[in-house]
Amino acid sequence: MRWNWQRPDWPHFQFEKNRLRDAEAQFLKGSGVVVGAMQHLDKDANQQLVVQLMSQEMVESSAIEGEILDRASVQSSIARQLGFAADRRRSTPAEAGASELMADLYRHYAAPLTDQNLFDWHAMLMNGRRDLDVIGRYRTHTEAMQIISGPIHAPHIHFEAPPSQRVPAEMAQFIDWFNRTAPGGAEPLHAVERAAIVHLWFETIHPFEDGNGRIGRAIAEKALAQSLEAPTLTALAATINAHKKTYYLELHRASETNQVDEWMVWFSQVVLEAQSRTLQNIRFLIEKTRFLDRLRGKLNARQEKVLLRMLAEGPDGFQGGLSAQNYRSITGATSATTTRDLADLVALAALNRTGENRYARYFLCLG
């Protein structure tokens, strides 16, 4: 019996609940801080944050699986899905489908989980795919569902999921548990504990031909949102992607036993880090608004273009700082104009400069 689902105690995951007590308390406290910070955003900034975080989640979740989505296209598609003003940027079928899933999750986080809900998500996520036998339904193939690496003649099996004929019954048990443990359910659980179990359990069943990782992370987001009784803005996928190697290692370890203390502790720390990332994004958006308000009417078109480009990169601007060459590339300005523009931006306290001459680098002066 190599895998957890082959053991007689499946799916009764065992762990010491006291080890999650501090994480649960920190998560609830952090949730209050996030809600308080969001109250400082006006309607437009709030919508901007929602679109930004939702698009980041799907782009990062897809990146974990090796699929690269265009962030701007996903943002535009999500904004349209939610009825916000957006440009008419064209999206690929994959980008449109991923955006539809995130919008559905945001709108209907409080709804009970159902087979049809998961089928719809899978159809959205597999939008445009022609290489799968079954889309919008659980897998039905007779061959083993395995996660493997290495050459075809000598593959290394990282995990083997329950056979397809067991999937409907396994999912029925999983969905019943998910709904019973929701707030207001018969057996409500703490937020972090429930999300950690949800993700591990779903990934073990691996019910679809493809897309299990992305859907499994979406279900974990749904669990967190239900516990907070609000659409979640937790940067879970982005944080997991930052620790992708460890993520797969911890999933593999947990797939071999139903004694899952290490998985629960690791996942709880990921949730807390994700929440911290979300708060950082909210604070950055507040600082960005104040930053641009302070400089309104003081910038020429070139300077404004460069600052907006740096702000689009997030709190730290360009990695390693903005160089004069970066400035010329973005604006097409001459060297002399670039030198004057950058000096003005430093004088306006828009940028901080480090280094001299060709080693000079410029960083956003926020906060």
Please list, in sequence order, all residues whose beta carbon lies within 8 angstroms of the beta carbon of residue 45, skipping any fewer than 6 positions away.
Answer: 285, 286, 289
51 alpha-carbon distance from chain centroid: 12
What is the rounded CA–CA span in Å between residue 109 and residue 225?
A: 6
Q: 135 with 123: CB under 8 angstroms?
A: yes
Q: Does 210 belong to an annotated binding site?
A: yes
Q: Does 44 belong to an annotated binding site?
A: no
- Nearest Cα neighbor of 51 from 70, 72, 75 is 75
What is the rounded CA–CA span in Å between residue 294 and residue 34?
A: 25
Q: Does 216 belong to an annotated binding site?
A: yes
Quote the tokens at residue 51: 């679109």
- Number of C-beta neighbours around residue 261 at 10 A: 16
Quote the tokens at residue 19: 């080890």
Q: Does 212 belong to an annotated binding site?
A: yes
- Number of C-beta neighbours around residue 192 at 10 A: 26
What is the rounded CA–CA span in Å between residue 350 and residue 327?
A: 14
Q: Does 214 belong to an annotated binding site?
A: yes
What is the rounded CA–CA span in Å between residue 302 and residue 286?
A: 23
Quote the tokens at residue 118: 């998961």
Given the residues 122, 190, 199, 206, the one annotated as active site: 206
Matching residue, tokens 């987001």: 221
To the query of whether residue 206 is one of the catalytic residues in this protein, the response is yes
Q: Does 136 belong to an annotated binding site?
A: no
Q: Does 97 belong to an annotated binding site?
A: no
What is the rounded CA–CA span in Å between residue 40 and residue 37?
A: 6
Reduced DSSP (H G I as helix, E B as strand, rest coil) percent helix, strand, coil of the chain, to 5: 60, 5, 35
Q: Does 36 belong to an annotated binding site?
A: no
Q: Which residues are annotated as a binding site for ATP?
A: 210-217, 247-248
The residues carrying an active-site annotation are 206
Q: Which residues are annotated as a binding site?
A: 210-217, 247-248
